Amino acid sequence: MDLVKLCFVIYVAAVISLVCYPSSVMAGDIVHDDDSAPKKPGCENDFVLKPVTSPAELYKMVCEPNETDLDIKIPAVMLPQDAGASLEKMLLNSSSVSVQLYSPKRPLVDIAEVFLWLMAVVTILCGSYWSAWSAREAAIEHDKLLKDAVDEIPNDKVVGLSSIVDINATSAVLFVVVASCFLVMLYELMSYWFVELLVVLFCIGGVEGLQTCLVALLSRWFKHAGESYIKIPFFGALSYLTLAVSPFCIAFAVVWAVYRNVSFAWVGQDILGIALIITVLQIVHVPNLKVGTVLLSCAFVYDIFWVFVSKKLFHESVMIVVARGDRSGEDGIPMLLKIPRMFDPWGGYSIIGFGDILLPGLPIAFSLRYDWLANKSLRAGYFLWAMIAYGLGLLITYVALNLMDGHGQPALLYIVPFTLGTFLTLGRKEAISTFYGHEENQKDLATMSILNTIMN
C-alpha cells in the first residue's frame, strides 16, 4: 500500500504544478462580410462562414501591438457555433439572408465566479477538518497504544500515522523545479494525444480521491466492513468497504472521460477534482510554518514567472497556453475546477487550477491541526483568520481579473500575501517558539507532546 501512496503523491506533485488562473474558454465561428472585402473566387455570396476547429485560431485574427499594420479591410465577426449552424441552414433554404450584428454587454461579475469561490473555500474547509480530525484520532490512538504496551499489539493494528506524508523545506524548493519541468513538457508536447494521457492520469487520481473520501464517509455507518481487510497483490490489505466502493468510483471516472465534451461534464470533473484535493490535504502534511512559508514563497515566484515572465522567453504566457489547451484542439487540461459562465452572452467557463486551492490549503490545514492540539478556540487560533485571508485573496484575484479585461492573473500573486501575511502577523510572538521551534522549546506545553507525534 505504501507504493500506491507514493505513486499517488508523485502524481499529485505533478498535477498541482498547474497553478492556473481564473479565466474563460470560448469557441465560435468566423464570419467574413464581403460587402467591404475584395471579390475573390469562391466569395461571391454576401458572406462566408469559416468554421473554427480550435479556439486558438480565434486569437490569430487580432494583430499584436508590435505587429506591422497590414491594412486589412475585411471585417471579421466571431459568432457562437450554434449561430453559425443556424445561418448555414438559412442559406440552404433561402438565397437571401439578412444579418444584424450587435455587441452584448458582458456582466461585471458572473454568478459562476461566486460559485467557484465557494467551491474553493469549502474544499479547503473540508480538507482541513478531515486532516485535523484524522491527526487528533491518530494521536489519541498512538498514546493509547503506548500505554497498553505496543509491543504486544500486531503491527497491522497500528493505524493513522503510516498514511501521512510530511513534506520538508527541501521538498518545497524541489517543487518549483519539478513543477517547472512538468509545465514546460506540457507546453512543448501539448497535443490531442497528450491531453488524452492527462485525462487518464486525472481519472486515476480522481478515482483514488473519490474512493478515499467515500470510504472515510461510509465507514461511520459500516464500521465492520471498513475494519475487515483482505490482502490483494500489489495493493496490499484493502477493506471490504474499499472493494465495494471502488467499482463505482472507476465507473464514475470512465463515464466522465467518455462524455467529457458534453455541456454538463464539468460537474463530474469538479467532483473528481474536489475529491482529489481533499484527499491530498488529508494525506500530505506541512509539519510547521517554516515549511509552509518556503512552499508558498516558492509557489508565489513560480506562478508569477510562468504567467508573466515566461512571455519574454517563449513569446507567450506558458501557463495560460497550457491552461487553455490552445495547442491541443480541446478546451484545456482537466486538472482544474470550472463552472460555465451562466449570464455571459459569450459563454465560456470560469476556471481555477488545483494549485490555487491545494498549495494555500496545506498551511491552512496545518493551522487547524495546531489549533486543535494546542486547545485554542476558533477566534483565538489561526485557522479562522487564515480562511478569511484566503477568501479575501481569491476575491481580490477575481477583481483583478475583471479590471484586466479577462487577461489571466496568477491567483497566488494575491492569495499568498494575504494568507502568509496573516500567519506571520498573528503568530509574531508565538512563531519563533512554537511554529519554528524544536521539541525542546515545546516541552512545557502538555498538548505539544501530541503535536510533536503528528509532526515527526
Q: Are residues 47 and 148 in the same domain?
A: no
Q: Are residues 265 and 344 in the same domain?
A: yes
**pLDDT above 50: residue 52:** yes
Residues 407, 409: Cα–Cα separation, whole Å = 6
User: What pLDDT does 271 receive?
Assistant: 96
SS (H, E, C) 156-200: HHCCCHHHCEECCHHHHHHHHHHHHHHHHHHHHHCCHHHHHHHHH
> Does residue 146 lie within any of the structural domains?
yes
Most confident segment among 65-79, 175-189, 316-330:
175-189
User: What pLDDT does 453 receive?
Assistant: 36
> Does residue 85 lie within any of the structural domains?
no
> Per-residue pLDDT averaged across 152-181, rounded?
71
Q: Are residues 152 and 277 in the same domain?
A: yes
**pLDDT above 60: residue 152:** no
398: confidence class by pLDDT, cuts 50, 70, 90: confident
* 32-46, 78-92, 254-268, 383-397, range with the lowest pLDDT: 32-46
> Does residue 156 lie within any of the structural domains?
yes
Residues 365, 442: Cα–Cα separation, whole Å = 20
C-alpha cell of residue 138 = 491518530
> Does residue 353 lie within any of the structural domains?
yes
Most confident segment among 59-68, 115-124, 316-325, 366-375:
115-124
Q: Are residues 69 and 164 in the same domain?
A: no
Active-site residue 356, yes or no? Answer: yes
Residues 178, 129: Cα–Cα separation, whole Å = 29
134: confidence class by pLDDT, cuts 50, 70, 90: confident
**pLDDT above 90: residue 250:** yes
Q: Which residues contact 194 (CB under 8 A, 6 or more apart)?
A: 186, 328
**pLDDT above 50: residue 140:** yes
Instruction: Give residue 443's domain range.
Output: 2-26+108-455
Report the half-sphere exposure of 132 (CA within 13 A, side-chain side): 21
**pLDDT above 50: residue 454:** no
User: What pLDDT does 394 receive?
Assistant: 94
In 279-379, the DSSP E strands lie at 284-285, 336-340, 349-353
Helices then strands, each counted (H, E), the chain = 16, 9
441: confidence class by pLDDT, cuts 50, 70, 90: very low
User: What pLDDT does 155 receive?
Assistant: 47
109: confidence class by pLDDT, cuts 50, 70, 90: confident
Amino acid identity, position 94: S
Mean residue pLDDT across the chain: 75
Q: Are residues 147 and 219 in the same domain?
A: yes
CA distances from 383 to 182, 363, 374, 413 (A): 32, 9, 12, 21
> Does residue 244 lie within any of the structural domains?
yes
C-alpha cell of residue 337 = 475546477
CA distances from 451 to 53, 102, 198, 334, 446 (A): 56, 63, 38, 37, 9
**pLDDT above 50: residue 429:** yes
Active-site residue, selected from the candidate residues 110, 326, 344, 356: 356
CA distances from 141 to 137, 160, 281 (A): 6, 8, 21
Helices (H), 219-258: 223-227, 240-258
Active-site residue 303, yes or no? Answer: yes
User: What pLDDT does 310 receive?
Assistant: 84
What share of the chain has pLDDT > 90, as a percent?
Answer: 25
Q: How far is CA 206 from the centre of its chain?
A: 12
User: What is the tally of structural domains in the chain?
Assistant: 2
Q: How far is CA 131 from the centre of its chain?
A: 18
Q: Are residues 154 and 260 in the same domain?
A: yes
> Does residue 282 lie within any of the structural domains?
yes
**pLDDT above 50: residue 450:** no
User: What pLDDT does 248 receive?
Assistant: 94
User: What pLDDT does 141 receive?
Assistant: 75
Which position has the higher pLDDT, 450 or 20?
A: 20
Q: Are residues 73 and 116 in the same domain?
A: no
> Per-residue pLDDT averaged across 416-445, rounded?
64
> Per-residue pLDDT averaged across 148-168, rounded?
58
User: What pLDDT does 45 receive?
Assistant: 44
Q: What pTM value is reported for the model? A: 0.75
CA distances from 356 to 4, 22, 306, 443 (A): 25, 10, 14, 35
43: confidence class by pLDDT, cuts 50, 70, 90: very low
- Among residues 62, 79, 96, which one ends one of the domains? 79
Q: Are residues 69 and 143 in the same domain?
A: no
User: What pLDDT does 253 receive?
Assistant: 95
Q: Are residues 320 and 225 in the same domain?
A: yes
User: What pLDDT does 414 receive?
Assistant: 92
Q: Are residues 302 and 382 in the same domain?
A: yes
Q: What is the DSSP letter of 133?
A: H
User: What pLDDT does 326 receive?
Assistant: 62
**pLDDT above 70: residue 7:** no
Q: Are residues 447 and 325 in the same domain?
A: yes
Give residue for cell 491567483. 411
Active-site residue, selected from the candidate residues 110, 270, 303, 326: 303
> Per-residue pLDDT averaged across 312-337, rounded?
75
> Does residue 90 lie within any of the structural domains?
no
**pLDDT above 70: residue 243:** yes
> Does residue 97 lie within any of the structural domains?
no
119: confidence class by pLDDT, cuts 50, 70, 90: very high
CA distances from 449 to 128, 222, 288, 374, 446 (A): 21, 33, 15, 10, 6
Q: Are residues 246 and 284 in the same domain?
A: yes
Bridge-based pairing state of the strands 284-285 and 165-166? parallel
Q: What is the DSSP letter of 69?
A: P
